[in-house]
A = this chain, B = another copy of it.
Amino acid sequence: MSEAIASSSSRSELEERFSEVRDCSMRIAARLSPEDALVQSMPDASPTKWHLAHTTWFFETVILSKLPRYKAFDPAFNYLFNSYYNAVGPRHPRPQRGLITRPSLEQVFAYREYVDAAMLEAIGEADRIDDIVLGLNHEQQHQELMLTDIKHAFFQNPTLPVFGWDERHACRVDQSDWSRQQGGLVEVGATSNRTEFAFDNERPRHQVLLQPYKIATNTVTNGEFAAFIDDGGYRRPEFWLSDGWSAVQSEGWSSPLYWLGGDRGEWTVFTLGGEHPLNLAAPVQHVSFFEAAAFAAWAGKRLPTEFEWEAASRDFAFGSVWEWTRSSYDPYPGFKTFEGMAAEYNGKFMVGQMVLRGGSIATPRGHARSSYRNFFPPNARWQFSGIRLADDWE
């Protein structure tokens, strides 16, 4: 990408983009107290403070630490905000992110300012534009996680605090229809001509062979999912994968995450804007892959593969919810990880996870694209994850 950007855009455009992305994280943080920003409500989630510091650490480590004149803000941060650190040693218990009360949120804000200033200076002279763009995309990923993680944390508080962000601006779904796709040899993945950013896991672009298939033009609605519940969906093992049925029982699932009040006969949902009546016409959210697959089985359909999804993606709108696919998260043929520090970016997670495609209302603008491969374990529900159906074309 560096060439493309170097030729097609001025440095000032990159500076502007840098500031824009970094500010967006701060706008999320602005709604939170120091305590809100510390909390970690489950091992899979991270505190906002950690997200803010970790995305900053990324720029400091990948870009700034290579510059001879740069002085680290605080050497301890390299350890504290590295995402993959292991236990400190035999006598020191493994720290959990939610226990790191110090540095304070204020100090993390200062860290961000310090690094931002150094970065803006570096952009003016840098030849490492690729890594800067990677860092911005990395931060956008974390912006979505900030929202999903704080939503999960607030849901643990019996008083159901209001974050104050309206989830309803993408809430209505038109009547769905089937789009018929011929299949055949199609190209998938991000191009390598570097005019657009893509993660390593989207490459190389390559051909796959698809059978003819049908894919829904809209995602499944809350109303459709409620019909599945009303038909005993959560109590009938015949619709579920074996591990999915185990999860239903061990976790006591009987509706999507954040649905409340089913026992009182009327669903409400907990959102970042507070508790609201369930909008039956909006896309269902916060379902696991297991629930998506069970719904599809109940409907007599199936989920699309990630390649079916990508090949048809110009024929439907997406971006309201991440859409579970029937594809495990495996490497593309010829997959190469990023080089250097970023080598561990994606490849080491390629087992036990399912691919999601699309993007959600929490995804930063400009961060979604049809080749984007999001991935989570099949029981994850705290993302804005929904369902699109597919079927064989017979």
- Give residues in A with beta carbon < 8 Å to B: 33-39, 41, 49, 76, 79-80, 84, 86, 88, 90-93, 95-96, 98-102, 104-105, 153-159, 161, 185, 206-211, 213, 237, 240-244, 249, 252, 254-255, 259-263, 289-290, 293, 305, 326-331, 333-334, 348-352, 354, 378, 392
Contact = CB atoms under 8 A, between A and B. Distances in A.
Contacts of A38: 35, 38-39, 101
Contacts of A93: 155-156
A162 to B, nearest CB: 10
Interface centre among A38, A252, A334, A378 (most CB of B within 10 A): A38
8 contacts: A33-B34, A39-B99, A79-B158, A206-B211, A211-B333, A243-B351, A305-B330, A305-B333
A161 B102 contact: yes
A350 B290 CA distance: 11
A211 B242 contact: no
A98 B101 contact: no
B262 A101 contact: no
A30 to B, nearest CB: 15
A378 to B, nearest CB: 5
A101 B327 CA distance: 38
A309 to B, nearest CB: 14
Leading 7 A-B pairs by shortest Cβ distance: A328-B328, A35-B101, A34-B34, A99-B156, A36-B101, A35-B38, A211-B333
A304 to B, nearest CB: 11
B33 A104 contact: yes
Interface centre among A79, A86, A102, A209 (most CB of B within 10 A): A102
Contacts of A91: 254-255, 259-263
A84 B254 CA distance: 21
Given A243-B351, A351-B243, A351-B244, A330 B334 contact: no
Given A90-B252, A241-B351, A263-B90, A101 B333 contact: no
B378 A102 contact: no
A345 to B, nearest CB: 11
A226 to B, nearest CB: 15
